[in-house]
Structure 1
Amino acid sequence: MRSDRYRLCLLLLGAVLVTSACGEPETPETGLTGGWTTAGCEFSRTPETVTMGGRILPATPPALEAAMARIDAGGRADFPTSYAGLEVDQERVRAIVYRVPSAPFDDFIRNSAEDTCIVVRDAGHSLAELMEWNDRLVADIPAWQAHGVRISSIAARHDGVGVEIGTGDVDLARSEMSRRYGRTAPLVFVEQGPVVPLAVPGVPTAPQPGG
């Protein structure tokens, strides 16, 4: 379900994450209009695992994986101005969907979730909007390199915060690119060295509790 496009190491995806921590359902964080959870979050579930190469690894249950696929496909095709991306939290057996608040898309998420747990959180920008910025930035890479701004990676963040730009000189990149694109451009700058080839990207995973 993921595009085969790359980062630049171009990691261009509107995606999905994996944690660890079972127990009581988490109270959603308040966002632009407040987060919410589907009815399936009222029930606790035991995390699933799979053994690979002698190691026990967390696994996504088929029902949750299918719900995520429905939401991702429907979000991209039918709600592009709202859908930002998603992540999977395997430890809590749930998925987290990020979207620009939209009542129709929220209804779609509820129906698509069935009896799985989906946490819905607000996003500042949709995946479609960030991918437009992503493509513009990729096209401008040669010009930035000619001006001494070295870009290691470009990635549309799955949480809708912005387009993440990896560079060896954050201050220079922020100054020059904000001057060209405007200070309201959804750009997030992170310090990063030279490009390192990536394997084919998969589903994003949620951060570990407390991390």
Structure 2
Amino acid sequence: MRRDRVVRLLATATFALTGTGCAEITGEAAPDRAAPAGAWRTAGCEFSRAPREVRAPVTPRLGAAIERIQRGGHDRFAASFAGLEVDRIRVRATVYRVPSSDFDDFVRRAAQDSCIVVRDAAHTAAELDDWHDRVVADLAYWDEHGIRIATVGSRHDGVGVEIGTRDFDRARRQLPGRYGSGAPLVFLEERR
């Protein structure tokens, strides 16, 4: 009698822990479930996927979801879409966006059964493209002022536009003077 109660109690505890994601019976590595503030996941992330290396960059279903989201993000939701990245090991993608309930609803539908993690971004891809184009248009100006910019690229996570230069300290001081202190510029020191 007492043994039956203990077995039932252990079974209930095991179910409670695995049902809420606090433990796994399989012993496989748990997928990354931590999400930063302002992040959420599509329903496709509920299926357990142990981290593993895969040969193809993405599965066909995930690739199709990424294509739908990227196309829709650029064409219909430019005021929200910042970019995306693929996590081959966890077989998922991360979409960065300036929060928008309409875009979030679109991502949920476009993801279908794929795992898409959605995270907040400070700037949209369209906004960063404008900043990128401004800096590129001024490359000759910066060269004339002794700052050689080697690379200019928008970040896929919406953080800003990366400026690669060997004149790191001077660029970090002078570019905000031309573009404003609020310009989303991220400076990288290029090696000589």
TM-score using structure 1 length: 0.74
Which of the residues 34, 44, 49 maps onto 1:45? 49
Partners of 1:73 and 1:114 in 2: how far apart? 15
Task: Report the secondary structure of 1:152's partner residue.
Answer: strand
CA deviations 1:148-176 (Å, max 9, x no partner) are: 01101000000000000000021100111
SS in 2 for 1:45: coil
Equivalent position amino acid for 2:140 in 1: P
Question: Is residue 25–residue 41 contact of structure 1 (8 Å, CA) maintained in 2?
Answer: no
Count how many residue pairs are aligned between Structure 1 and Structure 2.
Answer: 164
Over the matched positions of the two proteins, sequence identity in percent amounts to 55
1:163 counterpart (161, 164, 177): 161
Give deviations 1:48-93, integer Å, cap 9, x for gaps.
633xxxxxxx531110011011000000000001100000001011
Output the aligned Cα RMSD.
Answer: 1.6
Aligned to 2:131: 133
**Counterpart in the other structure of 1:26:** 33
Report the CA distance shift for 1:166/1:134 in structure 2 as closer, same or farther (over 3 A).
same
- C-alpha distance 40-122 of structure 1, shift in aligned 2 (>3 A): same
CA displacement, residues 108-134 of structure 1 (integer Å, 9 cap, x when unaligned): 000000001000000000000000011
Query: Which residue of structure 1 lines up, in the alignment, with residue 20 of structure 2?
Result: none
Alpha-carbon distance in 1 for matches of 2:124, 2:98: 6
Q: Is this contact kept in 2: 1:80–1:127, CA < 8 A? A: yes
Q: Report the residue type matching 2:61 in the other structure.
A: A
The 8 Å contact of residues 38 and 118 in structure 1, kept in 2 or not, is answered as yes
**Structure 2 residue 115 is matched with structure 1 residue 117:** yes
Unaligned runs of 5+ in 2: 1-27
Match of 1:105 in 2: 103
Alignment partner, residue 39 of structure 2: 35
Mapped contact 2:54–2:88 kept (Cα < 8 A): no
Counterpart-to-counterpart distance in 1, 2:75 and 2:154: 17
CA distance in 2, matches of 1:25, 1:172: 40
> C-alpha separation between the residues in 2 aligned to 1:99 and 1:146?
36
Larger radius of gyration: 2
Structure 2 counterpart of 1:73 = 71
Which segments of 5 or more consecutive residues in structure 1 lack a partner in the other structure?
Answer: 1-20, 51-57, 195-211
Pick from 52, 59, 62 the counterpart of residue 61 of structure 1.
59
Higher helix share: 2
Residues 1:22 and 1:152: Cα distance change in structure 2 (over 3 Å): farther
Aligned to 2:12: none
Q: Which has the higher contact order (CA 8 A, sep 6+)?
A: 1
Tell whether the 8 Å contact from 1:48 to 1:59 is kept in structure 2 after alignment.
no
